[in-house]
Structure 1
Amino acid sequence: NKERILKAVREKGQVTYKGRPIRITPDFSPETMKARRSWAELIQTLREHNCQPRLLYPAKLSI
């Protein structure tokens, strides 16, 4: 099941497939992705001012 796989990935750290590292991330709904994208301009401006913004799950900004 999806939750079990994501938990295993978090515990193991880096996962590889045929010797290459891969990234496994949870799926977000289209609405969540739209909300996360809406922060792009603000995040870029904050980075230009040496801030380290990050998006928390699912779409909350933390500075």
Structure 2
Amino acid sequence: MNNCDHCESNEVKVHFNSEESSMNLCSNCYNELMSTELEVEIEPLIEPFSLKDYQGSSEGDCT
């Protein structure tokens, strides 16, 4: 797992590459950056989670 370049704790979800630099950001840091750049307020997103059924198996993420 690669960690975010900004917060250094969350998993990277967005990769930016240009001739001058590159950034690897988690969803939260990407949203914060876009909010600042666009001068808008972004509402927090629901974090994905997993649930197990009565047999103890998980069928993926729920959002």
Structure in which a larger fraction of residues adopt strand: 2
TM range (shorter): under 0.3
Larger helix proportion of the pair: 1
- Normalised to the residue count of structure 2, the TM-score between the two structures is 0.25
TM-score, structure 1 normalization = 0.25
